[in-house]
Amino acid sequence: MRSCSTVIQSDLRTKHDLMKGSPFGFLRGTFYRWAQLWSSVCADVCGAPKVLAVGDLHVNSFGTWRDAEGRLCWGVDDFDEAFPLAYTNDLVRLAASLKIVVDADGLSIKFKDGCDAILRGYSESLHEGGCPIVLAEREQKLGKLGVDSFKPPSNFWAKLNRLPAVRRPLAKDLKRALERTLPEAGIEHKVVRRQAGLGSLGQERFVAIAKWQGGFIAREAKLMVPSACSWLHDRGEKGQPWYEKAISSAVRSPDPFQVIDGLWLIRRLSPDSNPIDIQTLPKHSDEETLLAAMGSETANVHLGTKHQVAKILMDLKDRKRNWLEDAAVRMARILEKDWKRYRET
């Protein structure tokens, strides 16, 4: 990260505190370690057909956004680690994160049932050619996903506006990237720094905030850093060349404000464009339906690599019944051992 962007040291200290706090925090903050271990720990599944994968997929990788029609959509909201990988990488990482959360009593579903739900949603979506998850269109079914908990935070704008303005001049490419996405040229705005995420915590995030036509608007810019997989294979890439392709090729109704401008990722910030923490959902929410939707959305992303779909379906058919559960347990165990050693340092 330091070789690609400026690092905020205080944010990095916060990141380490969060990583030491729980195995799930450690999983989220160390995708590079997953990339190192994956091929040896899961040699029996890492040779599966390759797709443009999410990479750093886990149960908190999903969130909401508004599409071009203003509809509330749900799906994968983080492609920072997108990279060509075996399709099994995303499924095993999603299931391993489920294992860690279930073991911490964060969910009530049995781990095996959760894995079955993920695979069911994934397989059905592949067979059907995928389907964007638009909450307004599938409200009756997806209401079980905890839609009621998607209520916008009441202090969103107050919290954002309390952040101090950046005093030093912005880099020209950053200033241009932020201003291009504002609805009008010359809108008066202030730029602040924001702390968010966990895997990317430590990177600079700049937010342009303006008042426009009776309400606040905000655009966030984050410098793109190559996937840890690129670092692992010493590819020497700049930025994140796979991010835009992953979004544009996936089966989804995209966020029109999520764009790549040079080396900057630009996103619209708003109270209804948010990641969803699975552990904060109501206890009555249908966890099996939610996990099946996660599997379905994973397939939506993988369907972007169209020429591999038939091979994936054949590969799934040939795998043993409990392959996902077994691989996820292996990865979860070794990462928890890493976490215990790391916590003692």
Q: pLDDT tens digit string along 215-271?
A: 999 999 999 999 999 989 887 777 788 999 999 999 999 999 999 999 999 999 998
Say if 4 falls within a structural domain. no
For 157-180, the pLDDT digits (tens) are 999 999 999 999 999 999 999 999
Asked whether residue 256 is assigned to any structural domain, the reply reads: yes
Residue 1 placed within a domain: no
- Asked if the structure places residue 132 within a domain, the reply is yes
Residue-averaged pLDDT of the chain? 91
Our count of domains for the chain comes to 1
CA–chain centroid gap for 141, Å, is: 23
The CA distance from 273 to 63, in Å, is 7
On whether residue 80 sits in a domain, the answer given is yes
pTM of the model: 0.94
pLDDT attached to residue 1: 81
282 Ramachandran zone, left/alpha/beta (phi>0; psi -120 to 50)? beta
pLDDT tens string 132-141: 998 866 655 5
Alpha carbon distance 130, 301 (integer Å): 9
d(C-alpha 169, C-alpha 166), whole Å: 8
Which structural domain, as residue segments, surrounds residue 73? 9-343
